[in-house]
Amino acid sequence: MVIVLFQRLKLVLFIVLVSIFSGCASIDGQQLLEKSETTHLGYQSSSALAKKLAPRHDIGDADTGFYPLSHGHDALLARLALIENAQFSLDVQYYIYRSDETGNLITWRLFEAAERGVRVRLLLDDMQKRNDEHIAHLNAHPNIEIRLFNPHQFRNARITSMATDFERLNRRMHNKSITADSVASIVGGRNVGNEYFSVNTVVDFGDFDMLLYGKAVEETSEQFDEYWNSLYAVPMELIFAGARAVTEEEMNEMAEEYGLHQKFSEGEYDITQLELYQQMSSGHFALFWGQAEVWYDLPQKVEGSSSELVLHLSGALANTQEKVMFVSPYFVPTEYGTQQMVKAVKRGKKITIITNSLASNDVFAVHGWYAKYREDLVRGGVEIWELKDNADLDNQWSITGSSTSSLHAKVIMFDRRKMFVGSMNFDPRSLDLNTEMGVLIHNAEFTDEAVSEIRQYLPEIAYQLQLEDDELVWKDHQNDQTYTQEPNAGLLLRMGAWFAGILPIEHLL
């Protein structure tokens, strides 16, 4: 009771500070505590999505249909398909939601859905700075409601916010999901932004999502409601009061300014030319089937509660009999994690790590701390591969301007039988600070095939870390070359990573 009261007092203080420093009208903090609670509408059997995704054959005891979204263009198309086919509700939850071509395209489609009567709930983490007034105009639409999770109290002075309330603001909602009509969801590692969909970007993020149908969608919707109705999700009208609703004319002007219709209906980003689009349009789109579980942290983790997701994953790892493969862009195992992996290898388990090289990592500080443990891991028998910064990620659009490849997928495969896909990196920030979510898929055939495909392409797209003459080296099997220092990483980048590795910041990474 005392803890709950303290949390509420902190949020009341936040809303008072917002009213003072944001330039908006004064807001009664009690409004935050009395905000309306809404929940998902449940499976809509009359939805067009239900008719398209319902099983067409005997699925046995499987409770979830799923479809992998490994390419950026397919991931964008799938999100648009959910939005454009929604008839009742859309629940959208993201850590990063950029105001670029793909972000504006999705916003435009969400607005169109609201115009035809679909209820849109948009929950965004507040780490990324956005224009409050623009969001408030969208929020003022009668069918759109937007909430910010764990928001900054000084809207135009975020450095001041962090300096005065770092412990709270350092904890973020990293969850990523979109659900339409409580019929279909997309869960995985992608945020909303050009780099996640391989559009007009110098960095091509290799990422992974799952399109879901069935039991896992219900659990994803329950997860969304937990966050939406939590004390930490603040309605946009309390942050920026009195905004008028955005008009259809203004949204069309925005679309015209970015050339959204033309860009994604013809030329290099023509969605209609994608194989997935053809499958969906022809009715030949088929799901894989299996049992599934959606695991997620409770929103109270931002107040220091333990991680429910880590508890689930720890159990899955403990039950692994032979092999586990980790795919994580930001991999900081810590000293304890390193010791546990080496012990597991000594007990006969095979552990494979796939992560970024320094040249492909977009956060060199993370690499600096990862580098402190990788030699001990390799010596202990852990197999490590680092993605090349020029890897061909087999993306139809990747040749249109992307000059650097970077791994962003977060996947764990257990005994080639089960696959976990989600938002969680294998680092202290995901374990202790941010809230995370993901889905565990039980399908041995699919997982085994995925591992085999990864194994096939690893020698082409990644360096294998090995020991030669008792020194760590990077082996490029494709070109039969061996590097004795970080491949394709300049001196300044190597020095930056090294320096970050001696700073006392591991718990923040």
| Pairing status of strand 471-476 against strand 481-483 | antiparallel
Q: Would strands 481-483 and 411-414 be described as parallel, antiparallel, or unpaired?
A: unpaired
CB 27 within 8 A of CB 151: no
- Nearest Cα to Cα of residue 226 among 176, 297, 172, 307: 297
Beta bridge pairs of residue 441: 292, 419
- Given 40, 141, 152, 174, which residue is catalytic? 174
Active-site residue flag, 415: yes
Q: Is 346 a catalytic residue?
A: no
Tokens 């930490």, residue located:
232
Over its C-alpha atoms, the chain yields an Rg (Å, rounded) of 23
Between strands 350-356 and 323-327, the pairing is: parallel
Q: Would you call 408 a catalytic residue per the annotation?
A: yes
Q: Which of 74, 132, 209, 415 is catalytic?
A: 415
Residue 28 vs residues 11, 13, 19, 183: alpha-carbon distances, Å = 12, 10, 9, 38
Which one is catalytic: 408, 418, 427, 475? Answer: 408
> Is 301 annotated in the active site?
no
Tell which residue, 447, 424, 419, has the closest CA to residue 293: 419
The number of residues in the chain equals 509
If you write DSSP's letter for every residue of 9-37 in order, what string do you get?
Answer: HHHHHHHHHHHHHSSSPP--THHHHTPPP
Structural contact between residues 161 and 268, judged by C-beta atoms closer than 8 angstroms = no
Q: Which residues pair with 351 in a beta bridge?
A: 324
Q: Which is catalytic among the residues 74, 125, 132, 181?
A: 181
Cα(417)–Cα(444) distance, integer angstroms: 4
Distances (CA, A) of 321 to 152, 324, 350, 413: 45, 9, 9, 12
The catalytic position among 40, 73, 141, 176 is 176
CA 438 to chain CA centroid, nearest Å: 9
Name the one residue in this structure whose structure tokens are 């009359």: 46
Report the Cα 12 to chain-centroid distance in Å.
30
Beta strands in 215-287 (DSSP E): 233-235
**Active-site position among 312, 410, 418, 475:** 410
- Give me the active site residues, please: 174, 176, 181, 408, 410, 415
